A and B are shown apart, each in its own frame.
Chain A
């Protein structure tokens, strides 16, 4: 199974993480597993690389974090989406829809590219 390019994974990380967190609050390890499952293994965030992205989103106030003892009894840092983050997700959705429409249009005109 061919994985997606690093650049594409990097560019899509913000809308993907915000979308995951818009469903429910989560912690780093769970987010990685969740994205891996949804993408059928095509997107697998590096263990140590997801956290800087999460911290960047937190700095921009798109998400909030807090430490909580999970069901397993272990202490974990949970992240949840903020109102500002939900607005950002809407903007991201619009942008990605536009990109999707442009690419779909282009490939309809030139089916040989597919």
Chain B
């Protein structure tokens, strides 16, 4: 078995230490080592966006980042988005707009939308569609997702 590295990172605002093999992706670390299963594995190839998380303020496919690369960095995942008693406006907007069916792509879409609104609080519909083009959904109807992000933008920038 390959030798494991010790990694210290910040996940959703808390300092976290873990051991991982150098070949383990951040997605594998989150899901299999830390049991944070909100980021999903859809393709393990960077094509579907289901594993989207925010790394030092930048949207990434966590299947394409190595766990060891997160040393000293900050990771935001879907589990850290809501306050204990209140959903994030993007989460509320997804519920209100029925922007999900099976829901497996939903955490990825929401983290992707979060990264967009963090950098561009008032995106146009066109900008939203371009930004979310890296996230795939097989059942919902993307129109409701786009609408949810537009609603959330209104809410957060108001």
Query: Is chain B found bound to chain A in the same assembly?
Result: no
Interface residues of A (CB under 8 A from B): none
